A and B are shown apart, each in its own frame.
Chain A
Amino acid sequence: MKYLDEYRDGPLAQQLAREIHRLTTRPWTIMEVCGGQTHAIVKFGIDELLPPAITLLHGPGCPVCVTSLELIDQALEIAARPEVIFTSFGDMLRVPGSTTDLLSVKARGGDVRMVYSPLDAVKLAQQNPQREVVFFGVGFETTAPATAMAVYSAAQHGLRNFFLLTSHVLVPPAITALMTSADSRVQAFLAAGHVCAVMGYEEYYPLVRQHQVPMVVTGFEPLDILQGILMVIQQLETGRAEVENQYTRAVRREGNLPAQSLLRRVFRVVSRKWRGMGEIPQSGLGLTEEFASFDAARKFGLADHQVEEPATCIAGLVLQGRKKPHECPAFGKECTPEHPLGATMVSSEGACAAYFRYRRSPLETTMPA
């Protein structure tokens, strides 16, 4: 397929891998921030092409995974209400709260619907004026503009039955949290290309200066990721720490300015609890006063209850890149995509789900003769 197959070309990938091998003289630990990159790495076996000296750590970039258990429980509480049509992206529907998940709420009679776009939820609100339509907005800066547009559009249409439960989070504060933790092993980052397509990469310069880590804005196809790794290794091996952009076909330094201006109008930056990482200051998006009447938490008066994570699950350590999925004793045993203990096993972008789906144990296969 045009604009896709070119970025999955086997011989070109081998060529990039050879160049990485040639340049690498000692061990390096690189974190890819985005869950989409994690999946591409595991799906295409990109890490298998790299020298053993390079370790890829999977970062906290799966928005479904980092949504706190408390917030999921609040979502479940709202979704069970008879007057509510509860909408979210497909991935979110299977994520377990402390006792159940949205699909089970649906099976018990809750009106839970999967949507592809937040604007579909606004449409539902228009079509069902007697019902309360709630959209559970999940995602990083990538999906936040679409959610902002839904709220803005609901306001333009004068809708009073559309509400947003927001779980939107921001990447730079998470990187800061990772780099300031005492036992951080990360020496360089592949920054998430799609987040930067919206936000640009100005905000990474101070991070790079402060922590002296190379940061390369990287795309999601195999050749993007290999080239991103190559650019990171070039920096590491020559002692540089800079912001570079591999994903030039989608990302400009200043990002998408209209999207950013909509974000600033609809959202304000708030502190947020991340699943597995705890409270990170200034790391989430809440509604501004102008749009506060669309806030589902305010509308449904939700209590902030504290819940415990399953004791055996190490999703938190996986999200911080401190453990690999198969280092978890529950991986593939008590914890599978059918019976997930933690969100990293549920979401299509979660690292545990990627490992379970594509490799489970080290694979040494060749085509039978």
Chain B
Amino acid sequence: MNTPEFHPVCPLPITDYPHVLMAHGGGGKLMHHLLEQVFGRAFANPLLDTRHDSAQFAVPAGRLAMTTDSYVVRPLFFPGGDIGSMAVHGTVNDLAMSGARPLYLSTAFILEEGLPMATLWRIVCSLSAAAKACGVPIITGDTKVVDKGKGDGVFINTTGIGVIETPLVITPKNVQPGDVVLVNGDVGRHGMAIMATREGLQFESTIESDSAPVHELVQELLQAGIEIHCLRDLTRGGLASALNEIAEVSGYQTAIEQDAVPVQEEVHAACELLGLDPLHVACEGRFIAYVPPRDAARALAIMRGHPLGAQAAEIGRVGAAGSPPVTLKSALGSWRILDMFTGEQLPRIC
């Protein structure tokens, strides 16, 4: 997603210091230099360039949505993305799940002493390119440095503000019996891309993360007049957690057909190997949409017509009030509970 004006070559004359020092967070000249040469340069836009303690901007009419997320992924770079692009996609997607059009982002970096400047620059460039591709400027930020051994290279927090232009109120409370559940593509790729990189697993083709911003696809659905009741992006805990969270809030049971959930062959294989269930594995560019039956076919067609929805599928239906929250029809035709997993399945993936 790199735009032409960015080259991941570190521009720093301050690379007199090839690694991040404690002084880069100390408030003095080195920090000033870092902000100006790295962040200021990569993120430049009129609001950021005022270089004030907070950014000032006019608020459009309508409802606003705000969200925040911290990114602590290891490894920092993985097939299909890195911590920088993910820090944009994750927050943009969280806004999109309210039907919001993202307006602005903030970024806060926590750097570990000793992080190579070239690594930082690569991440900052990727983050900047992702934000530009999403059309969302980064208008304020922060940087801190922690002692070596107290961080894991770099942690990033991003906060996003968006405007909700649809009159729909998209929340789990609006889910209704009979709603059709759609997913915009195959699940589990991000988590397995991270896992495969971390564990050195080799497959016939590399598993690439699905990290991507889905706000434009959501806007297309809204503009087509689809009456979306609820949206949820599938991050930690994967599809299973998203379905359970929504079912618990709405009070209605959801029934899912295992065979209807798209899973890439390699992801399936990797999951089998590691004893994981793809329905529990994180995604970063996938969401589920709850729509009334009359809109389902049209919503699915819109999704499939978008590059981030080519493999979209109808995976289940909302039923009556009750428990267990989510049930799954297995390949053999029998039903079972689809629960969230207990404890940690994949440490530090998003």
B227 within 8 A of A: no
Q: Binary interface profile of B, 252-278, with partner A (CB < 8 Å = 1, else 0)?
A: 010101000000010011001011000
Contact count A vs B, C-beta below 8 Å? 79
Report which of A348, A357, A367 forms a contact with B317, defined as CB distance below 8 A: A367
B333 within 8 A of A: yes
How long is the Cα–Cα vector from A222 to B330 in the complex, in angstroms?
Answer: 11
B223 within 8 A of A: no
Contact B332 A368 (CB under 8 A): no
Contact B319 A368 (CB under 8 A): yes
B-side interface residues, number (CB < 8 Å): 31
Report which of B199, B265, B335 forms a contact with A1, defined as CB distance below 8 A: B265
Residues of B within 8 A of A10 (CB): 331-333
Report which of A49, A222, A363, A367 forms a contact with B316, defined as CB distance below 8 A: A367
A39, closest chain B residue (CB): B275
A21 within 8 A of B: no
Residues of B within 8 A of A348 (CB): 275
Q: How far is the CB of B3 from chain A (nearest CB, A)?
A: 38
Best-buried of A43, A116, A359, A365 by chain B (most CB within 10 Å): A365
Residues of B within 8 A of A364 (CB): 335
B87 within 8 A of A: no
Residues of A within 8 A of B331 (CB): 8-10, 44, 222
Contact A44 B319 (CB under 8 A): no
Report which of B268, B320, B332 forms a contact with A45, defined as CB distance below 8 A: B332
Given A1-B269, A116-B199, A368-B318, CB of A358 within 8 Å of CB of B337: yes
Contact A365 B177 (CB under 8 A): no
How long is the Cα–Cα vector from A9 to B331 in the complex, in angstroms?
Answer: 7
Residues of A within 8 A of B334 (CB): 44-46, 48-49
Contact A359 B177 (CB under 8 A): no
Q: Binary interface profile of A, 35-78, with partner B (CB < 8 Å = 1, else 0)?
A: 00000001111101100000000000000000000000000000
Residues of B within 8 A of A338 (CB): 342
Residues of A within 8 A of B268 (CB): 1, 4
B324 within 8 A of A: yes
Residues of B within 8 A of A368 (CB): 177-178, 255, 317-320
Contact B272 A1 (CB under 8 A): yes
B4 within 8 A of A: no
Contact A14 B333 (CB under 8 A): yes
How long is the Cα–Cα vector from A14 to B269 in the complex, in angstroms?
Answer: 25
Report which of A9, A103, A359 forms a contact with B337, defined as CB distance below 8 A: A359
How long is the Cα–Cα vector from A1 to B337 in the complex, in angstroms?
Answer: 23
Contact A359 B317 (CB under 8 A): no
B329 within 8 A of A: yes
A243 within 8 A of B: no
Contact residues of B between 295 and 350, Cβ < 8 Å to A: 316-320, 324, 327, 329-337, 339, 342-343
Contact A359 B275 (CB under 8 A): no
Contact B343 A360 (CB under 8 A): no
Secondary structure at the A interface, as helix, strand, loop or mixed, is loop
Q: How far is the CB of B114 from chain A (nearest CB, A)?
A: 19
Q: How far is the CB of B205 from chain A (nearest CB, A)?
A: 14
A94 within 8 A of B: yes
Q: Binary interface profile of A, 1-41, with partner B (CB < 8 Å = 1, else 0)?
A: 10010001110011000000000000000000000000000
Residues of B within 8 A of A358 (CB): 336-337, 339
A337 within 8 A of B: yes
How long is the Cα–Cα vector from A116 to B201 in the complex, in angstroms?
Answer: 12
Contact B336 A42 (CB under 8 A): yes
Given A116-B199, A367-B255, CB of A357 within 8 Å of CB of B337: yes
Best-buried of B317, B319, B337 by chain A (most CB within 10 Å): B337
Contact A43 B336 (CB under 8 A): yes
Q: How far is the CB of B177 from chain A (nearest CB, A)?
A: 7
Residues of A within 8 A of B178 (CB): 368
Q: Binary interface profile of A, 91-107, with partner B (CB < 8 Å = 1, else 0)?
A: 00010000000010000
Contact A367 B257 (CB under 8 A): yes
How long is the Cα–Cα vector from A357 to B279 in the complex, in angstroms?
Answer: 14
Report which of B318, B319, B342 forms a contact with A337, defined as CB distance below 8 A: B342
B254, closest chain A residue (CB): A368
Residues of B within 8 A of A365 (CB): 253, 255, 319, 327, 329, 335
- 6 sampled A-B residue pairs with Cβ under 8 A: A4-B268, A357-B337, A365-B327, A365-B329, A367-B255, A368-B318
With A10-B333, A368-B318 given, name 16 new contacts (CB 8 A).
A4-B268, A9-B331, A44-B330, A44-B332, A45-B334, A45-B335, A45-B336, A116-B274, A357-B337, A357-B339, A358-B336, A359-B336, A359-B337, A363-B324, A365-B255, A366-B335
For the complex of A and B, the 3 pairs showing the least CB-CB separation, nearest first, are: A45-B334, A337-B342, A368-B319
